[in-house]
């Protein structure tokens, strides 16, 4: 331990909880098909990891921090990923979010729904939801903290 953040309790809990929470968020996102969880919960978990690092280490840490401006931009990017999945299927001749028309060679026969292709489409949508929820939570915390720091 080279540098401590506050007390030893904060230091050790930061070193254990933050990496565990981030990896658990990724696990919940990838395993959301067959277990409880999904995009919203995974995004909230990832945001909790970043927010804990922000609260313990302060705004000047460079490892786990996401600034307010890039948080807003990335939230928009997450929404765009969701919409792009739908638009790709529309451009290929299907309806909005018609997963059978996704351009992957897992096996699509004229819009017939295959389970692997369906899972892939859900994965892309959940990626957009995860990014949007995570960055929105981080941005709300950023706004609240900055408003208290000014006064």
Partner 1 sequence: MQNLIIEAALLLFLIGTTVSVIVLKDLLSATFVYCAFSYCAVLLYLMMGSPDVAFTEAVIGVVSTIYFVVALKKLDRWCK
Which residues sit at the interface with partner 1, rule CB under 8 A?
Answer: 36-38, 40-41, 44-45, 47-48, 51, 55, 137, 140-141, 144-145, 147-148, 151
Q: Which DSSP letter does residue 62 get?
A: S
**Residue 128 tokens, joined:** 């957009």
Cβ-based nearer residue to partner 1, 54 or 94 = 54
Closest approach, Cβ 82 to partner 1, in A, equals 19
Least distance from partner 1 to the Cβ atom of residue 50, Å: 11
> DSSP letter at 93?
T
| Closest CB 144 distance from partner 1, rounded Å | 5
CB of 136 to partner 1, least distance (A): 11
The overall longest dimension of the chain from CA atoms, in Å, is 62
Distance CA 38, CA 27 (A): 10
| CB nearer to partner 1: pick between 58 and 93 | 58
In degrees, rounded to 5, the angle at the alpha carbon of residue 107 between the alpha carbons of residues 105 and 108 is 105
- Comparison of 25 and 86: residue with beta carbon closer to partner 1: 25
Whose structure tokens read 């990724």? Answer: 26
């Amino acid at each position: 331990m080279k540098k401590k953040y506050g007390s030893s309790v904060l230091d050790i809990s930061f070193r254990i909880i933050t990496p565990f929470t981030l990896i658990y968020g990724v696990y919940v996102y990838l395993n959301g098909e067959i277990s409880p969880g999904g995009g919203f919960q995974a995004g909230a978990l990832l945001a909790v990891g970043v927010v804990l690092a922000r609260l313990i280490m302060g705004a000047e840490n460079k490892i786990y921090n996401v600034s307010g401006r890039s948080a807003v931009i990335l939230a928009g990017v997450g929404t765009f990923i969701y919409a792009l999945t739908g638009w790709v299927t529309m451009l290929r001749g299907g309806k909005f979010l018609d997963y059978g028309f996704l351009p992957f060679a897992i096996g699509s026969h004229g819009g017939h729904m295959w389970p692997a292709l369906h899972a892939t489409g859900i994965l892309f949508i959940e990626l957009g939801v995860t990014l949007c929820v995570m960055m929105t939570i981080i941005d709300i915390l950023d706004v609240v903290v900055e408003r208290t720091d000014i006064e």
